[in-house]
Amino acid sequence: MANTVTDISLNDGNTIPQLGFGVYQIEPKDTAEAVGRALEIGYRHIDTAEMYGNEAEVGEAVRASGLDRGDVFVTSKLNNGFHRPEDARRAFESTLAALKMDYVDLFLIHWPLPTRYDGDFVSTWKALEEFQRDGRARSIGVSNFQVPHLERLAAEADVVPAVNQVEVHPYLTNEQVRAYGREHNILTEAWSPIAQGRVLDDPTVVDVAEQVGRTPAQVVLRWHVQRGDIVFPKSTTPKRIEENFQLFDFTLDDTAMERISGLDKGEAGRTGPNPDEFDYIPA
Ligand code: NAD
């Protein structure tokens, strides 16, 4: 079986590679090299954010790769301090300037911040709708939105988010948010897909990995792929970047899929902040 990354259709007609490369917590000085390595291996989708402080280095790596801009899917995100529409417009321009690109493939509201801005993320979303209309964001979406946040956008906005990027891994399978997405044509992007490494020593994961002759990281990432979610594991280790790319030349049977899904701990499995409460605004 050839290892070919699946392209998935978004609700706006664009397509996204189901596997990408995440750059959260990669130091700016290490980013161009890691992204360059990922592009060499065959990744064609990079997930960055203004908050990660490495957009410029992502852009640099894409240019240095020699690939056409149109061959690499680039996502960035609006930082928490810029939810007011006039700030969002300026922040989006800064993102494009840092990347040295005239468009991003996908732009997301990073966090809903329901306790900030008088609970208004709708006017922020309408600013993203502008960026899509003027062509500078080919697709737009949200991140860390809970079901009530998505319901509010459905009631008050024109465009349905193309994706919702949320924490999902075997210890937090996040079924309610995923189900809402399935029903409303919003693709789920699973962040921290291997729970930053925490699920890799799990005896069930290790057992499934031994059965199929793959590594724990590969079986967990393959589990996401078979559930239809989009993933972008992060690593700066070339061997792991390569390992995490080999997901499309094997399958997990139903029993293996169910065993991994059965590891869900619900809220107790969350590794990141709870989006209903998270209110961090960088200085
Ligand atoms: P991850 O689940 O991808 O885990 C990354 C860590 O796991 C690495 O630091 C490394 O230590 C380890 N690792 C990676 N590959 C491995 C392998 N093959 N074997 C053993 N260990 C391995 O965690 P993440 O970086 O938090 O999430 C991935 C991406 O999701 C981020 O880079 C970012 O793009 C995105 N993200 C988004 C949000 C958001 O709020 N939208 C939050 C967190 C992450």
Q: Which atom of ligand 1 is nearest to the CA of 143?
A: 41
Listed residue (213, 179, 199) closest to 259, CA to CA: 199
Mean pLDDT, the chain, integer:
98
pLDDT of residue 194: 98
CB 245 within 8 A of CB 37: no
CB 190 within 8 A of CB 224: yes
Q: How far is the CA of 194 from the centre of ligand 1 (A)?
A: 7
For ligand 1, atom 24, the nearest C-alpha belongs to 192
For ligand 1, atom 29, the nearest C-alpha belongs to 22
Q: What is the pLDDT of residues 204-258, one digit of tens each?
A: 999 999 999 999 999 999 999 999 999 999 999 999 999 999 999 999 999 999 9
Q: What is the pLDDT of residues 150-179, one digit of tens each?
A: 999 999 999 999 999 999 999 999 999 999
Reduced to 3 states, what is the DSSP secondary structure of residue 253?
coil
Listed residue (245, 272, 249) closest to 45, CA to CA: 245
For ligand 1, atom 4, the nearest C-alpha belongs to 196
Mutate to test the pocket of ligand 1, among 192, 201, 224, 270 (most ligand atoms within 8 A of CB): 192
Q: What is the pLDDT of residues 8-51, one digit of tens each?
A: 999 999 999 999 999 999 999 999 999 999 999 999 999 999 99
pLDDT of residue 57: 98
Mutate to test the pocket of ligand 1, among 19, 21, 24, 52 (most ligand atoms within 8 A of CB): 24
Is the confidence at residue 72, as pLDDT, over 90?
A: yes
CB 20 within 8 A of CB 230: yes
Q: What is the pLDDT of residues 113-157, one digit of tens each?
A: 999 999 999 999 999 999 999 999 999 999 999 999 999 999 999
Other Cβ atoms within 10 Å of 13 Cβ, number: 9
DSSP 162: S
Q: What is the pLDDT of residues 180-204, one digit of tens each?
A: 999 999 999 999 999 999 999 999 9
Q: How far is the CA of 229 from the centre of ligand 1 (A)?
A: 15
CB 6 within 8 A of CB 229: no
Q: How far is the CA of 231 from the centre of ligand 1 (A)?
A: 9
For residue 171, indicate whether it is catalytic.
Answer: no
Which residues' Cβ are closer than 6 Å to ligand 1? 22-24, 47, 110, 143-144, 165, 191-197, 200, 217, 232-235, 240, 243-244, 272
Residues 6+ apart with CB under 8 A from 282: 51, 79, 80, 81
pLDDT of residue 283: 86
Q: Which atom of ligand 1 is nearest to the CA of 23?
A: 32
Predicted structure pTM score: 0.98
